[in-house]
Structure 1
């Protein structure tokens, strides 16, 4: 895969905007007609359903606070150095949990927890202890679950990592992005390599099961040569997982990105070289290419899930957890319960106001149609396994795949001619070359995107 040569015509044709497909339909399709009452209904359906007793929950908690602004960031965050705001936020999180439990029932089994943000480590050790105690009072955490937290290396020490281990976290994700000093300065995130190496070493000594680092390619002042140096350091660091994201420059949507000068951004051709280099370097170092933006050591659970065909994709990226129910807590977070999505309000004032009224802070969502469910299965199979077996879809949804997707299969003919995929009697299979363009292949099955050609809200797929 890493030795593939991609011609200019392919680059130009697929240098377009498109979704990352952490969900389908994508969040921009959520509607305000789906609101609190609809969310309450699905909570109650889970509580009363027979399947709920055998299906563990996943929890996501959004902590929006950061001490410092990273210019590339598109997350929902609040920049502040006033740490008292964390204590206030926790009080409202507990109110939200209480309202959920009132409809869901106490003691639901949880097998996966992720703290994201923002910077979860903005909270003090005492506040993190308080948060975990509150969650454990309301939910039943299994002993062999996946409990992860995002780490800003600038906000933790070995002592803080030890405290996270004591609280039951067994997976860490470090925001690294790039080791180059000039790039770090350009995005306003200075963190010396020595600091990251020391923290990762401490994580291993403390017994964390998996350590992930996030990298971003396409940042200002990055070149293929500078990114090679970052990759060389990453292979020395040797984390269990690597999430490699393409920078999505959308300054019209995300105000902090306006501080990044467009002329400093690498062109699409250079970004593709960086992606190709990452595949070459990381695979040569023994990493398994899991999918679009993830690599893992062969012994890591993510690589095992890839081999066994158990890989899934959700709002946190690739996951080993099956497509179960997700309850998301905190401002702007998105829950997935049954065939529905529900999103909380995006501002802290609105979040606090609704909870003060005794209301769940759901502002919009979506109840998926049968067509949504069929297309979601196809898109997620492409993104996770790189193939779609016609028979599997037909048995699951009682459709004739070739008839149902006749227009899409016709549209894929050009991609087949370009060597991005193969079509045979069994199904559709992404080639090694096609993995570079897998988002573009998935877009063919996106009914909403085909009906709406305004894609400016999405990042470039390369």
Structure 2
């Protein structure tokens, strides 16, 4: 029998404008630690490089990520690596090179390692035609052995999805789907250049459920032009009628210095930090009151969902795809801009197609940047992940796992958290540290305390609110 979601009350938060201003500072989302801003240019792209060496030695399961960069139109809020085109034949060349990369990469991996997770992101994976989806399936299954119970998920754009594409993804083995909705209000949609009628969303969900894909996630974004508490309440109400298993409610990351198209949004009124936090509070209240658990940061799931069960069991993980069920897996990522992760290293492919293609033509793994973790990085990565997933830290337990005296190792960090305790974000317990309901809303700020690289130089990240 699932337990009730954590009670959440606006009145109990003690949130005020001064506190919002204090914590509305640039902060990472911690899908990795160290963050991608610490990655360095790669010089050696051979299989003998230090960045790739642990692939040959490592054992255990694999998680695959495939980046499909193409979109038919540009959503002005988007921060993803993408290529805008309506010419689906471009994907044929992309698959040629993806095939080359997959085979080259797979040749470095020890035999017998099974794939337990596969995720297709973008861009828009359903830019691919059904024939191209089937070809991609052949590329991956020809190079890797899949576990019979592998979790295979795909991000879908309902505006361009066809029932034939759903069938092709089902043949590939997809058992989870995430659909981008963002907001159902027409004025908001016009301001972000993404017109998506309710009928389109409903049709997509109908197709997915008829095909047997019953684990459906809906993505929303708050902080977009013209959004208000009242308008977003209507969006939540409509999306709840879709009965999704999970919701991801992301804070819009306004970073026009790296995504110039976002400057267009400044022509319309953007919600300020006070409005954004009110929308978020309303969202948490509404969803937890309707049978969803606030898993952490921006994710919600039904009480019987495996994500919620994993959080209760303290086995929940966090990586570049967000929250995950799979621990101790190496992530092998393919395609333009894709980021791979292993115990000792991060590796990121080139973000532009021409260089990605050229590197493969020259016989290389198409790496642009990478990072080798130090022992301190590994300790902090584990602590930040457990904080983001468990929303608490047992100092003795974390110390034993990492072979350190936690209180001594993180003496200055613990001291720095006392100010957050005064502000109501965390509380110290007999065992360690617990994040409060208010702290859940500002979990990025709490995690920052364990980041050795931020200091006063957190530029480059979006604001926490």
TM range (shorter): over 0.9
Q: Is the 8 A contact 2:133 2:168 kept in 1?
A: no
Structure 2 residue 13 is the aligned partner of structure 1 residue 8 = no
User: 1:105 & 1:402 partners in 2: Cα distance?
Assistant: 39
| Segment drifting more, 17-26 vs 416-425 | 416-425
User: 2:157 & 2:44 partners in 1: Cα distance?
Assistant: 34
State the secondary structure of the residue aligned to 1:448: coil
The alpha carbon displacement at 1:43 in A equals 4.6
Q: What's the counterpart of residue 180 of structure 1?
A: 185
Structure 2 residue 56 is the aligned partner of structure 1 residue 18 = no
For structure 1, the 5+ residue unaligned runs are none
Structure 2 residue 113 is the aligned partner of structure 1 residue 119 = no
* Per-residue CA distance 1:154-185 (angstroms, 9 max, x = gap): 11123321221122100101011000000011
User: 2:269 & 2:310 partners in 1: Cα distance?
Assistant: 38
State the secondary structure of the residue aligned to 2:300: strand
The alpha carbon displacement at 1:207 in A equals 1.4
User: 1:103 & 1:399 partners in 2: Cα distance?
Assistant: 33
The alpha carbon displacement at 1:135 in A equals 0.5
Q: What's the counterpart of residue 3 of structure 2?
A: none
Q: What's the counterpart of residue 133 of structure 2?
A: 128
Q: What's the counterpart of residue 442 of structure 2?
A: 437
* Per-residue CA distance 1:337-379 (angstroms, 9 max, x = gap): 2211011111101000010011110111111111111111111
User: 2:357 & 2:230 partners in 1: Cα distance?
Assistant: 47
Structure 2 residue 428 is the aligned partner of structure 1 residue 459 = no
Q: What's the counterpart of residue 278 of structure 1?
A: 283
For structure 2, the 5+ residue unaligned runs are 1-7
Q: What's the counterpart of residue 215 of structure 1?
A: 220
User: 1:336 & 1:269 partners in 2: Cα distance?
Assistant: 36
State the secondary structure of the residue aligned to 1:58: strand
State the secondary structure of the residue aligned to 2:40: coil
Q: What's the counterpart of residue 301 of structure 1?
A: 306
* Per-residue CA distance 1:302-346 (angstroms, 9 max, x = gap): 122122211110001111111410000001111002211011111
User: 2:268 & 2:191 partners in 1: Cα distance?
Assistant: 12
The alpha carbon displacement at 1:252 in A equals 1.2
Structure 2 residue 167 is the aligned partner of structure 1 residue 158 = no
* Per-residue CA distance 1:225-281 (angstroms, 9 max, x = gap): 100000000111111110010001111110111111165110101100110111111
Question: Runs ≥4 in structure 1, deviation > 3 angstroms?
Answer: 37-49, 105-108
1:265 to 266, 270, 287: 270
TM normalised by structure 1 equals 0.96
User: 1:280 & 1:412 partners in 2: Cα distance?
Assistant: 26
Structure 1 segment 359-370 matched on structure 2, within 5 A: 359-370=364-375
Q: What's the counterpart of residue 335 of structure 2?
A: 330
Q: Is the 8 A contact 1:210 1:300 kept in 2?
A: no
Q: Is the 8 A contact 1:65 1:80 kept in 2?
A: yes
State the secondary structure of the residue aligned to 2:65: strand
Q: What's the counterpart of residue 325 of structure 2?
A: 320
Structure 2 residue 194 is the aligned partner of structure 1 residue 189 = yes
Q: Is the 8 A contact 1:39 1:362 kept in 2?
A: no
Structure 2 residue 230 is the aligned partner of structure 1 residue 246 = no
User: 1:72 & 1:293 partners in 2: Cα distance?
Assistant: 17
Structure 2 residue 39 is the aligned partner of structure 1 residue 30 = yes
TM normalised by structure 2 equals 0.95
State the secondary structure of the residue aligned to 1:183: helix
Superposed CA RMSD: 1.5
Structure 1 segment 71-90 matched on structure 2, within 5 A: 71-90=76-95
Q: Is the 8 A contact 2:427 2:433 kept in 1?
A: yes
User: 2:70 & 2:167 partners in 1: Cα distance?
Assistant: 22
User: 1:460 & 1:38 partners in 2: Cα distance?
Assistant: 38
The alpha carbon displacement at 1:42 in A equals 5.7
User: 1:42 & 1:108 partners in 2: Cα distance?
Assistant: 19
User: 1:216 & 1:35 partners in 2: Cα distance?
Assistant: 39
* Per-residue CA distance 1:55-95 (angstroms, 9 max, x = gap): 21000000111110000001000101121110000000011
